[in-house]
Amino acid sequence: MSTQIYPLKFDPIYQYRIWGGRRLEHLLSKPLPKDDTIGEAWLLSDRKDHASKVNEGKLEGTTIAELMKDFRYEIMGKLGNDFDHFPLLLKFLDCNEVLSVQVHPSDDQKEYIPKGDTGKTEAWVVLETSDDSLIYAGLKKGTNKENLLESIKNKSVADRLHSFVPKKDDAVFIHSGTVHTLKGAVVFEVQENSDVTFRLYDWDRTDPKTGEKRDLQLDKAIACIDFDQVDIGPVSPVKSKEIKNAEKLFDNDHFKLWRIISKSDFTVGIKDEPTILVCIDGKGTMKYNDKEYEISKGEVMLLPAIIGPLELKPEKEISLLQIAIPDKKQK
């Protein structure tokens, strides 16, 4: 058993976005860069250009990429042979203004994916809303390539998109190939470890930093759309059989996610599999190798597979997301 591995916390990586705001300030303890509109905080990222770093303990400063190289089996357990890189990317998004209308390729659309990357299926958990919150998820029935292109040309693309007003705690699944965007909300996002996005439409705006309109990738976007992904709304949570005071929000080929709200102790982590905890509110502690580890609002913690299940003790009440990676061999 490796004595070097322990529950690992990471610093968020902040990203400027034209549509961002400043609302992540009260969700995360790390100060936002001054005067910038911050759209994304990357909470756990094994991307070459933005690799998350451990922020405490003897592995402080080590990137997730280095961990996956040196401790792959301790971290991934029985999934160790399946992944060279950590397969998920986790974020908080502050969608102060509307994002571009966009779509992501699926894993099998290799011609649209950079070498070594994957497609992108993702999901959101709504943390905050505002007066103008709107989620566009999927197309309206009857939309096809021709009338969608026509709507982009005459700037009426919103009329072709299914939309709904989100509520706090709504959970929305965005399968690859789904046309989507959102505005006026802060969300947690879990996705495949991919940064491939094709823009269909960007509301004819100019980026104040460049003075230019952002590029569209119309041909690639159209080629990647699944026109059967229509009228998508929030998922229905399922009461969890595995975890006390929990509901399962997502369970697909790429990730499983539970939401746990509890005042009493409960078990986190899975034997021989990695687990990620994201604290949405409150705080709690876990004990591992006679040492206490705390997780509090806005923090992400990776429980390496070698650690297995731990007992989490909330201070008062904790709201926590637990994310696991499906074992595809068992599907």
pLDDT of residue 181: 98
Which residue in 163, 305, 167 sits closest to 232, CA to CA?
A: 163
- The model's pLDDT over 78-108, given as tens digits with 9 standing for 90+, comes to 999 999 899 999 999 999 999 999 999 999 9
pLDDT of residue 1: 43
CATH 2.60.120.10 boundaries in the chain:
8-224, 238-330
CA–CA separation, 322 and 75 (whole Å): 16
Which tokens in the block code for residue 38?
A: 């911050």
Domain 8-224 has CATH 2.60.40.1250: no
- The model's pLDDT over 183-220, given as tens digits with 9 standing for 90+, comes to 999 999 999 999 999 999 999 999 888 999 999 999 99
CA–CA separation, 225 and 109 (whole Å): 11
Instruction: Please state which architecture CATH assigns to domain 238-330.
Output: Sandwich (2.60)
Which tokens in the block code for residue 34?
A: 């001054």
Q: Nearest 5°: phi and psi at 288?
A: -145, 130
Q: Nearest 5°: phi and psi at 207?
A: -75, 120
Amino acid at 253: D
Q: Which residues of the chain have pLDDT under 50?
A: 1
